């Protein structure tokens, strides 16, 4: 018997900001644009669709109902939220529930499957369903290379990326969100310098984030102060050499100017590819937290870790319980998802990749009284991620015993196979473990779902204690509730102080006790090195990658950015993204200080 469409009578605990976002973009609407469901109906719609998957594995009506109620409680109490497409599309005609995709782009205009224009079509379908797409353009022949059929010359990867960009503009994602893309080019591609420069003009390629795929060979050449080979992908021939430092300097300068290009340490990411027998990582999703194979997909979800801190203590038991339920939730999504392409559907069922992460990490630190930019803060980050990873895998193992491991398990890095599970030096990369999912953990930006949950985003520090947020064109005030509560409790609260904080973008004012100035430290006041140290601490225990922006003050120098790019490499990060305050217009978040 299908589950009742009436949600439990317990209302969702949502802030006004959360309700505004849901009404604007998530709730089902009638033709006049008026919502025909309440947030509670939305959460129940999601909970029932996802719980229904358990029936395939023998769950009774009563068990499915109980599970749906558990999922409903998780989401409405803001302990966990799945990525936006799940909230928007579950139980609706599109039924596409994932945020992240990577598509291959082969060096042909069209080959009926994955040539440039074939993939362009696939991209449009994914955007329409609310997903974001990543591409490696590294297989496309360099600009000026010969095109045999016409004896003309190729226009190169950058021009095709511009084509994808324009098409993204034309397809608004199902009317809900604008398409987001990641474009990657390997550092040994002949067009790499054009690629690095292609976003110098901030009005160009606006629907893409771009990152250079940095190889180990390149980093060795950089260390040695030498040059490295460029390889023409269509022939495999050496097409020239470039000085590694020259290329690195251009990337760093670009990042200093505009935040782009970012870096994707492609060999480091591939070391941890769980299914190397199926292919290599060439690209990531738009925000970088998911290196994915061609036609790979990931559905994300995030546990709000701040929720579990009560009276200065993190309730690890409750946190662990919810991590396990959330893992179950994400695994179920794979069975009920309606994928936009048959290739994606097939791969997702063979490897069952999921991405469980955290949000509200800065809130948790604040509630624990630990400043973000300290060894204690970083150690807490490592512990939280280790715990998430261990508990998530426990559940994935339990599901594997009950439902079977993911079909490619035996040859994956988790399985008994002697070749795939080994590093170049013959050591196992991961301990053998029977798992339902080839990857379990990640850390997403949680840009919108953190607003729905009313918490700080991902693993990021607070952006500001009081600020105005531009959400889907609406400027919304955001004031940190923990800060207000402490100020009132300790007797130094005033409206005038809050206004001053919003205007100046800092809590460094004489009436704020020094201890709280440290605990409520905001992104721009944190030395960039601590951002990267935190990212690296999370990365230690994360299957996939981490979405993290290292913030710089407007006055930071090019050398400051270079040092951070190099530190990220030394600390085994899979990528790095920086942002210098005020270097781009139209920031999503803004404090008075940057206006």
Kindly list the catalytic residues.
285, 287, 289
Quote the least distance from Cβ 547 to ligand CDP, whole Å.
6
CA atoms lying within 13 Å on the CB side of residue 247: 30
Minimum CB separation of residue 334 from ligand CDP in Å reads: 17
Cis, bond preceding 267 (omega within 30 deg of 0): no
* Alpha carbon 83 to its chain's center: 10
Which residue in 64, 211, 348, 448 binds ligand CDP (CB under 6 A)?
448
Residue closer to ligand CDP, measured from CB, 64 or 299 = 299
Q: Which of 156, 286, 340, 360 lies at the binding interface for ligand CDP (CB under 6 A)?
A: 286
Pick 132 or 274: Cβ nearer ligand CDP? 132
Nearer to ligand CDP, 64 or 290 (CB): 290
In the bound state with ligand CDP, the residue whose beta carbon lies nearer, of 83 and 119, is 83
Question: Residue 424: how many CB atoms within 10 A of its CB?
Answer: 6
In our burial notation (b when 16+ CB lie closer than 10 A, e otherwise), range 475-506 reads: ebebebebbeebbeeeeebeeebbebbbeebb
Tokens of 535: 């990212």
Nearer to ligand CDP, 132 or 528 (CB): 132
Decide: 347 and 274 in contact? Cβ < 8 Å: no
Please say which residue, 25 or 324, places its beta carbon nearer to ligand CDP.
Answer: 25
Look up tokens 């919810």; give the residue: 322
Closer of 208 and 272 to ligand CDP (Cβ):
208
Q: Is 99 in the site for ligand CDP (CB under 6 A)?
A: yes
The closest residue (CB) to ligand CDP is 132
Q: How far apart are CA 553 and CA 53, in angstroms?
A: 48
Interface with ligand CDP, residue 287, by CB under 6 A: yes
Q: Compute the least distance from the CB of residue 403 to ligand CDP, in Å.
A: 26
* Both tokens assigned to 568: 């990220």
Q: Which stretch binds ligand CDP (CB under 6 A): 49-57, 138-146, 286-294, 479-487?
A: 286-294
List 64, 83, 326, 544, residue binding ligand CDP (CB under 6 A): 83
Site track 231-270 with ligand CDP (rule: CB under 6 A), x = hit: ----------------------------------------
CB of 549 to ligand CDP, least distance (A): 12
Q: Which one, of 356, 287, 347, 342, lies nearest residue 133 by Cα?
A: 287
Closest CB 457 distance from ligand CDP, rounded Å: 8
Interface residue with ligand CDP, options 233, 377, 445, 505 (CB under 6 A): 445
Does 446 participate in binding ligand CDP (rule CB under 6 A)? Answer: yes
Instruction: Quickly list H helices, 129-277.
Output: 157-170, 192-197, 216-224, 244-258, 266-271
180 touches ligand CDP by CB under 6 A: yes
Region from 52-60, 115-123, 281-289, 531-539 binding ligand CDP, contact rule CB under 6 A:
281-289
CA dist list (Å): 27 to 33, 39, 477: 10, 7, 22
439 near ligand CDP (CB under 6 A): no
Q: Is 164 strand, coil or helix? A: helix
How far apart are CB 304 and ligand CDP at their closest, in Å?
12
Stretch that binds ligand CDP, among 89-97, 173-181, 329-337, 418-426 (CB under 6 A): 173-181
Closest distance between ligand CDP and the C-beta of residue 147, in Å?
33
With respect to ligand CDP, which residue has the nearer C-beta, 447 or 592? Answer: 447
Task: Write the DSSP symbol of residue 253.
Answer: H
Applying CB under 6 A, which part among 151-159, 221-229, 391-399, 440-448 lies near ligand CDP? 440-448
Q: How far is the CB of 146 from ligand CDP (least distance, A)?
A: 36
Give the span between the Cα atoms of 219 and 226, in whole angstroms. Answer: 10
Enclosing H/E stretch for 178 = strand 177-178
Residue 528, Ramachandran bin (φ over 0: left; ψ between -120 and 50: alpha; else beta): alpha
Is 282 in contact with 105 (CB distance < 8 Å)? no
Per-residue contact string for residues 28-67; x = within reach of ligand CDP by CB under 6 A: ----------------------------------------
Residues 3, 68, 100, 519: which binds ligand CDP (CB under 6 A)?
100
User: Site residues for ligand CDP, window 345-404 (CB under 6 A)?
Assistant: none
Tell me the per-residue interface mask from 126 to 165 with ligand CDP, x by CB under 6 A, - otherwise: -----xx---------------------------------
Cα–Cα distances (Å) from 226 to 90, 93, 569, in that order, read: 53, 56, 18
Of 84 and 524, the one with the shorter C-beta distance to ligand CDP is 84
The Cα 77–Cα 69 span in angstroms is: 12
Part of the chain binding ligand CDP (CB under 6 A), chosen from 28-36, 177-185, 229-237, 267-275: 177-185
Reported as type and span, the H/E element at residue 565 is helix 558-570
Distance CA 51, CA 67 (A): 6
Q: Are 399 and 328 in contact (CB under 8 A)?
A: yes
Burial track 350-380 (b if 16+ CB lie within 10 A, e otherwise): ebbbbbbbbbbbbbbbbbbebbbbbeebbeb
**Contact call for residue 84 and ligand CDP (CB under 6 A):** yes
Helices 481-490 and 361-368 pack at an angle, to 10 degrees, of 20
Using DSSP's 3-state secondary structure scheme, residue 3 falls into coil
Among positions 12, 293, 449, 536, the unique one binding ligand CDP when judged by CB under 6 A: 449
Q: List residues binding ligand CDP (CB under 6 A).
A: 83-84, 99-100, 131-132, 177-178, 180, 285-287, 289, 300, 444-449
């Amino acid at each position: 018997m299908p589950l009742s469409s009436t949600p439990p009578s317990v209302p969702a605990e949502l802030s006004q900001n959360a309700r505004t976002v849901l009404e604007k973009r998530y709730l089902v609407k009638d033709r006049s644009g008026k919502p025909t469901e309440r947030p509670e109906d939305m959460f129940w719609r999601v909970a029932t669709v996802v719980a229904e998957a358990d029936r395939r594995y023998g769950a009774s009506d009563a068990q499915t109902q109980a599970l749906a109620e558990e999922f409903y409680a998780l989401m409405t109490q803001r302990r966990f939220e799945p990525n936006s497409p799940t909230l928007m599309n579950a139980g609706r005609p599109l039924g596409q529930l994932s945020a992240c995709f990577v598509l291959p782009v082969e060096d042909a205009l069209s080959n009926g499957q994955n040539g440039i224009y074939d993939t362009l079509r696939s991209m449009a379908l994914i955007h329409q369903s609310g997903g974001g797409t990543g591409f490696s353009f590294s297989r496309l022949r360099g600009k000026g290379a010969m095109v045999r059929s016409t004896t003309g010359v190729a226009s190169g990867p950058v021009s095709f990326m511009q084509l994808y960009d324009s098409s993204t503009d034309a397809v608004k994602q199902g009317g809900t969100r604008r398409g987001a893309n990641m474009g990657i080019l390997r550092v040994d591609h002949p067009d790499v310098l054009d690629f690095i420069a292609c976003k110098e003009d901030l009005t160009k390629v606006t629907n893409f984030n771009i990152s250079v795929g940095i190889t180990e060979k390149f980093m060795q050449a950089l260390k040695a102060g030498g040059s490295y080979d460029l390889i023409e992908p269509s022939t495999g021939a050496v097409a020239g050499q470039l000085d590694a430092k020259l290329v690195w300097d251009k990337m760093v300068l670009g990042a200093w100017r505009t935040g782009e290009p970012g870096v994707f340490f492609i060999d480091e990411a591939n070391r941890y590819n769980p299914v190397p027998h199926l292919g290599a990582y060439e690209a990531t999703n738009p925000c970088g937290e998911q290196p994915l194979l061609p036609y790979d997909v990931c559905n994300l979800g995030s546990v709000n870790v701040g929720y579990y801190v009560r009276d200065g203590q993190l309730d690890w038991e409750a946190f662990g319980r919810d991590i396990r339920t959330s893992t179950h939730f994400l695994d179920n999504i794979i069975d009920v998802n309606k994928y936009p392409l048959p290739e994606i559907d097939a791969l997702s069922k063979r490897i069952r990749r999921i991405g469980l992460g955290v949000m509200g990490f800065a809130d948790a630190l604040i509630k624990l009284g630990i400043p973000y930019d300290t060894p204690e803060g970083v150690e807490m980050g490592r512990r939280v991620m280790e715990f998430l990873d261990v508990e998530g895998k426990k559940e994935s193992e339990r599901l594997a015993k009950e439902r079977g491991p993911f079909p490619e398990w035996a040859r994956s890095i988790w399985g008994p196979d002697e070749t795939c599970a080994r590093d170049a030096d013959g050591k196992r990369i991961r301990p053998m473990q029977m798992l339902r999912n080839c990857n379990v953990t990640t850390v997403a930006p949680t840009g919108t779902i953190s607003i729905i949950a009313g918490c700080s985003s991902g693993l990021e520090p607070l952006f500001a204690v009081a600020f105005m947020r531009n959400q889907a064109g609406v400027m919304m005030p955001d004031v940190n509730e923990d800060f207000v509560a402490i100020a009132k409790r300790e007797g130094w609260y005033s409206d005038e102080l809050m206004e001053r904080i919003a205007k100046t973008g800092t809590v460094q004012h004489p009436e704020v006790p020094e201890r709280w100035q440290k605990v409520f430290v905001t992104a721009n006041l944190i030395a960039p090195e601590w951002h990267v140290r935190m990212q690296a601490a999370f990365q230690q225990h994360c299957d996939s990658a981490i979405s993290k922006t290292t913030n710089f003050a407007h006055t930071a120098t090019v050398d400051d950015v270079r040092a951070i790019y190099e530190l990220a490499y030394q600390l085994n990060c899979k990528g790095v993204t920086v942002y210098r305050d005020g270097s781009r217009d139209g920031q999503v978040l803004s404090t008075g200080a940057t206006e």
